[in-house]
Structure 1
């Protein structure tokens, strides 16, 4: 069983509008692939992990690991969501949390990376399916740019 799991950028589901995102490598690290939001009106980043690989009855937190480029725009408001995939009901919106990659104070990590909490969950003996984590903003239609996504880390508290 695992206390943490890492979902790298290339394993995330990222809604890619035409020319909106590019894959690249952070400076000084050619072995890591990151995605950079260049210009898009829709922000939708998601990741999934299997609950069977997690410690039962422990609280887990999901964090987006990212950087913001100088002059980033359109990232003031977004929604974060963490849920078990079996809880998804077609046509029903789940409770999402408001987050701001610009306004909230994200926790600083090494080499200029930051993390912001997307939400938490607690697998129990019954939870054997997938856990979905998302960051999205699809309502304003404003151009967004300057977000560099490294991945999502899921870890116990």
Structure 2
């Protein structure tokens, strides 16, 4: 059968049937199909299709939104959640969708992280930044012991998905002590079992500079992970990966630790820790 005849045979199908077919494709495929013809456009943009691309628990998620969501179609809702992260649970958690796959992405705010000495004003300070999605961020004033970790239930994440955890942060111009190697890890914590160890990674919040006496750290920097700039003007450093299989394993614990060199550190601003699909 020629391609022309194959296309012609589609038109004899009810629109609901065509929409059902598109629901087994991907958001990208549905968008492409909607540009082929006016006949396919209606089927490809139907709520039946885009309901399948949204997480199965999307209604429960948007019900936790700080601000109400207004949308006229499921496709509009999908792209709103992709392009404009929403705050959940009183502003403690940020949520969005990966545009290519519809997989869930979450960011824990700094207030929800366990940060050593965070309640001591001489070491840390809470402040407001207009460029942050959260009400407050954590500003490092002066510490020698850096220990930051957060956790999230695996059942909140998309199933059968490989996630990467990132610390999202900024550095002040007068920052110092943050170019030393830190240890980062992503571990599974199961109730009654304890830690299931994940890989420990060497990361840098700030690229080390070459100066006398620092050649060891320069060599380490070749094998360590360096921070990258995000599109939202923040920086991020990759902490580690976790494959969320069935979603009922327990809690994911994400940590960044520098407690060996114990040099004084200053000028770090933490927005949170983000978990998003590795392929994004």
Decide: shared fold, TM above 0.5.
yes
Partner of 2:154: 51
Structure 1 window deviating more from structure 2 (104-113 vs 119-128): it is 104-113
Q: CA 1:147/1:32 → structure 2, altered by over 3 Å: closer, same or farther? A: same
TM-score by length of 2: 0.51
Higher relative contact order (CA 8 A, sep 6+): 1
Counterpart Cα distance in 1 of 2:277 and 2:132: 27
Closer/same/farther in 2, CA of residues 127 and 66 from structure 1, 3 Å limit: same
Name segments (4+ residues, structure 1) moved above 4 Å.
27-31
Q: 1:85 to 1:141 in 2, by over 3 A?
A: same
Of the two, which has the highest radius of gyration? 2
Q: Deviations over 1:9-39 (max 9, x none)?
A: 1111111164211111114669621001110
2:189 matches 1:88: no
Structure 2: gaps spanning 5 or more residues: 1-54, 56-102, 208-224
Partner of 1:3: 104
Alpha-carbon distance, 1:94 to partner: 6.0
Alignment root-mean-square deviation, CA: 2.2
Partner of 1:135: 256
More strand, by proportion: 1
What are the residue-to-residue correspondences of 1:1-157 with 2, within 5 Å? 1=55, 3-16=104-117, 18=120, 19-27=122-130, 32-76=135-179, 77-86=181-190, 88=195, 95-103=199-207, 105-110=226-231, 112-125=233-246, 127-157=248-278
Distance in 2 between residues matched to 1:144 and 1:27, nearest whole Å: 24
Give how far 1:114 is off: 0.8
Gaps of 5+ in 1: none
Change (3 A) 1:29 1:153: closer
More helix per residue:
2
TM-score (norm 1): 0.87
User: What do residues 88-122 of structure 1 show as CA deviations (whole Å, max 9, x unaligned)?
Assistant: 17xxx864211001115422124531111111100
Aligned length: 154
Structure-2 separation of matches of 1:29 and 1:156: 22
